[in-house]
Structure 1
Amino acid sequence: MIEFRSKAYYKVSAALAFGSFLVFCNLYLFQPMLPVLADHFAVSATHINWLLAAGTLTLALMLLPWAFASERIGRRKVLLISLFLLPAIGLTSLLTDSLLLLIISRALMGMALAGFTAVAVAYMAEEFSAKAFSHGIGAYISANSLGGISGRLFGGMLTDYFDWQTAVACMALLSLIGAVVVAWVLPQPNQQNTVQSSPLSQYHHIIIEHLKNKKIYFAMLIGGVNFAIFINLYTVTGFRLVSEPYAMPVSIAAMIFLCYLSGTVSSRLVGIWCQRFSPITGMLAGAIMGLLGMLVASNDSLVVIFIGLNLLSFGAFFTHSLAYGWVSQQAKKSKATATALYLVHYYVCGSLGGFYLIYCWQHGGWTQVMIGAGLLYAVVFWLCWRLGHYVHDKKEHTLQAAQ
Structure 2
Amino acid sequence: MIEFRSKAYYQVSAALAFGSFLVFCNLYLFQPMLPVLALHFSVSATQINWLLAAGTFTLALMLLPWAITSEIIGRRKVLFISLFLLPAIGLTSLLTDDLTLLIISRGLMGMALAGFTAVAVAYMAEEFSAKAFSHAIGAYISANSLGGISGRIFGGMLTDHFDWQTAVVCMAILSLIGAIVVALVLPKQEQPSVPSASLSQYHRIIFQHLRNKKIFFAMLIGGVNFALFVNLYTVTGFRLVSEPYFLPISIASMIFLCYLSGTVSSRLVGIWNHHFTPVLGMFFGTLISLLGMLVASSDSLVVILIGLNILSFGSFFTHSLAYGWVSQQADNAKSTATALYLVHYYISGSLGGFYLTYCWQHGGWDLVMLGSSLLYGAVFLFCWRLYRYTHTNRVWV
Q: TM-score range by the shorter chain?
A: over 0.9
Matched, 1:44 2:44: yes
**What CA distance in whole angstroms lies between the structure 2 residues aligned with 1:186 and 1:216?**
29
**Per-residue deviation at 1:272?**
3.5
Which aligned pairs between 1:63-102 and structure 2 lie closer than 5 A?
A: 63-102=63-102
How much has 1:275 moved relative to structure 2?
3.9
Deviations 1:234-271 (A, max 9, x none): 00000000111100011111111111111122223333
- Aligned partner of 2:169 in structure 1 is 169
Correspondence 1:331-342 to 2 at 5 A: 331-342=330-341
8 Å CA contact 2:134–2:324 kept in 1: the answer is no
Q: Does 1:122 align with 2:122?
A: yes
2:144 — aligned with what?
A: 144
Amino acid at match of 2:316: F
What is the identity, as a one-letter code, of the residue corresponding to 2:69?
A: A
**1:274/1:76 CA distance change after superposition, 3 Å:** closer
Letter matched to residue 163 of structure 2: D
Distance in 1 (alpha carbons) for counterparts of 2:87 and 2:49: 22
State how far apart, in whole Å, the 2-side matches of 1:160 and 1:139 are. 31
Partner of 1:62: 62
CA deviation after TM superposition for structure 1 residue 341, in Å: 1.1
Distance in 2, matches of 1:334 and 1:6, equals 26
Quick one: structure 1 residues 129 and 273, their matched pair in 2 at CA, closer, same or farther if it must change by over 3 Å?
Answer: closer
* Paired position in structure 1 for 2:388: 389
Structure-1 separation of matches of 2:136 and 2:311: 27
Alpha-carbon separation, structure 2, partners of 1:5 and 1:291: 35
Post-superposition offset of 1:231:
0.6
The CA deviation at 1:286 is 1.7
Q: 1:2 to 1:335 in 2, by over 3 A?
A: closer
The within-5 A match list for 1:4-403 is 8-128=8-128, 133-190=133-190, 193=192, 196=195, 198-394=197-393
**Worse-superposed segment, 304-313 or 73-82:** 73-82
Q: How far did 1:133 drift?
A: 4.5
* One-letter amino acid of the structure 2 residue matched with residue 295 of structure 1: L
1:115 CA drift (Å): 0.7
Summarize deviations over 1:291-340 as a string: whole Å, max 9, x none. 11111111100011011111111111122222223323333333332222
| Secondary structure at 2:294 match in 1 | helix
Aligned residue number for residue 400 of structure 1: none
**How far apart are the structure 2 equivalents of 1:204 and 1:351?**
24
The code of the aligned residue for 1:78 comes to V
CA distance 1:7–1:238, shift in 2 (3 Å): same
Structure 1 residue 342, shift from structure 2 partner: 1.0
Unaligned runs of 5+ in 2: none
Structure 2 CA distance for partners of 1:391 and 1:127, relative to 1, 3 Å:
closer
- Give distance in 2, aligned partners of 1:309 and 1:204: 40
Q: In the aligned structure 2, how far is the partner of 1:124 from the partner of 1:317?
A: 19
TM-score, normalised relative to structure 1: 0.92
CA contact (8 A) 2:138 2:266 kept: no
Distance in 2 between the 1:154 and 1:174 partners? Answer: 11
Q: Quote the offset at 1:229 in angstroms.
A: 0.6
Distance across 1 between alignment mates of 2:288 and 2:99: 37
Q: What's the CA shift for 1:132?
A: 5.1
- Answer whether contact 2:121 2:137 (CA < 8 A) is retained: yes
SS of equivalent residue, structure 2 residue 382: helix
Distance 2:117 2:192 in 1: 19
Distance 1:5 1:289, change over 3 A: closer
Asked if structure 1 preserves the Cα contact closer than 8 Å seen for 2:141 and 2:266, the reply is no
Residue-pair matches, total: 396
- Where 2:393 maps in the other structure, the secondary structure is helix
Give the Cα separation in 2 of the matches to 1:46 and 1:396.
Answer: 40
- Alignment identity in percent? 80
Distance in 2 separating the partners of 1:365 and 1:245: 13
Equivalent position SS for 2:202: helix
Contact 2:93 2:102 in 1 (8 A): yes
The range that moved more, 4-13 or 294-303, is: 4-13
> C-alpha root-mean-square deviation of aligned residues, in Å?
2.2
Shift of 1:119: 1.7
Shift in Å at residue 9 of structure 1?
Answer: 4.6
Confirm or deny: 8 A CA contact 2:2 2:129 kept in the other structure.
yes
Does structure 1 conserve the Cα–Cα contact (< 8 Å) formed by 2:137 and 2:324? no
Per-residue Cα deviation, 1:132-168 (whole angstroms, up to 9, x for no partner): 5555444322221111111011001001111111101
Task: Please list every run of 5 or more consecutive structure 1 residues that lacks an aligned counterpart in the other structure.
Answer: 398-403
SS in 2 for 1:381: helix
Contact kept in structure 1, 2:54 and 2:106, CA below 8 Å: yes
CA shift in 2, pair 1:18/1:354, >3 Å: same
User: Which stretch has the larger CA shift, 13-22 or 89-98?
Assistant: 13-22
